[in-house]
Amino acid sequence: GDEFTVGLRFRVAELKGSEYDTLLMGHDGKHWLAVECSKRRFCCADGKSKATSILDHTIPLNEWVVVFLQPRGDQTVVFTNDADGFLEAGVFEMALKGSKLDKMGWAENEVHIAEVMLWPRVLSWSEMASALPATPTPEPPKLPKPPRPRSSFRGQVVDTSGGGVPDVQVKWGKKKSAVTDEDGGFAGELSDAETDVPDDAASVGSGGSTWSTSSVISFRSENFAPALHMPSAPSEAQRRVCG
């Protein structure tokens, strides 16, 4: 008919050569819509007269593009979408009235056609814009997870009289140790990755304990027998330990 709207959603994956790849072709040899290979521009051609009409609009590679064709007197107006939104890309100096769609995707290069839409009337600007597929909202970038703070503990080694015991070697985690100060005090940190225990504590924690083996603390001093301590809660790691 004299009034129509043709819509096409396509994607150009690769373009080589100096000719053009046809997306829509009529029965009369008119290439309704083609892509000029050298500069990736919209093109319309008449196979019989060899006349061509090219628009100064670059088509992106590997992106879905929607284009609409409508008659405008002896011309054909082209609408499309890009990063800035819906727009009029230009006008082909060629009419498509009387031509019937015969072929799709007549191309030597890799061109993908997702859908063809036909209306027996001239759609309004808002109707064409609303027919565009919704652009998915990009997901916000994932923020890196903040490092988990290490669990810290402190304690004091005392004798049976309550006095601090200095120079006691305290071991925990994976090859970490400290020596008590003159008041018997000590402090340290535990990371989630530390699950090994000192050799002196290997026999502890295997009897169905629900606590991480990294919580086991061993004590060694020349004046006292070796001792072990497994706190029942993180806060109890700060309590005083008798040697």
- Tens of pLDDT, residue by residue over 222-242, are 766 666 666 554 444 444 444
Distance between CA atoms of 136 and 236, rounded to whole angstroms?
A: 52
In three-state secondary structure terms, 112 is strand
Cα–Cα distance between 101 and 66 in angstroms, integer? 18
Least confident of 59-68, 72-81, 91-100, 103-112: 103-112
For residue 197 the two structure tokens come to 């225990």
Q: For the segment 131-170, what is each residue's pLDDT rounded down to a tens digit?
A: 776 655 566 788 788 777 767 778 888 887 888 888 888 8
- Tell me what the mean pLDDT of segment 21-30 comes to: 90
For the ranges 58-62, 171-175, 237-241, the lowest mean pLDDT is seen at: 237-241
Q: What are the distances in angstroms from CA 152 to CA 184, 188, 235, 237?
A: 17, 6, 10, 9
pTM: 0.53
Backbone angles phi, psi at 25, to 5 degrees: -135, 135
List the one residue out of 173, 139, 168, 142 whose CA is nearest residue 156: 168
**Tokens 């015991």 sit on residue:** 165
pLDDT surpassing 50 at residue 119: yes
